[in-house]
Amino acid sequence: MESTLLPRIFRRFIKASLFILVVLFYSNSSNAQCPVIAPVPNDACYQQVIAADSWCCNNAWDALCQSAYDACGPPPPCPVIAPVPNDACYQQVIAADAWCCNNAWDALCQASYDACAPATVLLLRR
């Protein structure tokens, strides 16, 4: 009985050792999943964040990780609707003066837009 028990124990030891080696190999592999579950989709921005900051993948998805993820995506649309087309001049105005995008399209915003816009656009608008 003892002679058959020893090989069985040895086989179990070998199987367990191989399992541990496989788990260790794949957990250190660059293709391994992150152990931390992030509240965002696994998209290009997520991949960019975990590549730049391994803490977000290996320890915790904290406010810094979320901030980096939010900064990666396109900017949110302006809540203020301007009475001008969404063209290059409009983008230039809201990039230079966030007030025009976030609060109100006032006379200063319009003056900046008019200074940028080609004369033909200004004639069509009047």
Q: Which pLDDT tens digit goes with each residue over 13-44?
A: 677 676 565 444 444 444 357 898 888 888 88
Paired tokens of 117: 């816009």
Q: How large is the C-alpha radius of gyration of the chain?
A: 29
Report whether pLDDT(74) > 90. Answer: no
The H-or-E segment that residue 6 falls in is helix 2-27
Among residues 75, 76, 23, 72, the alpha carbon closest in space to that of 47 is found at: 72
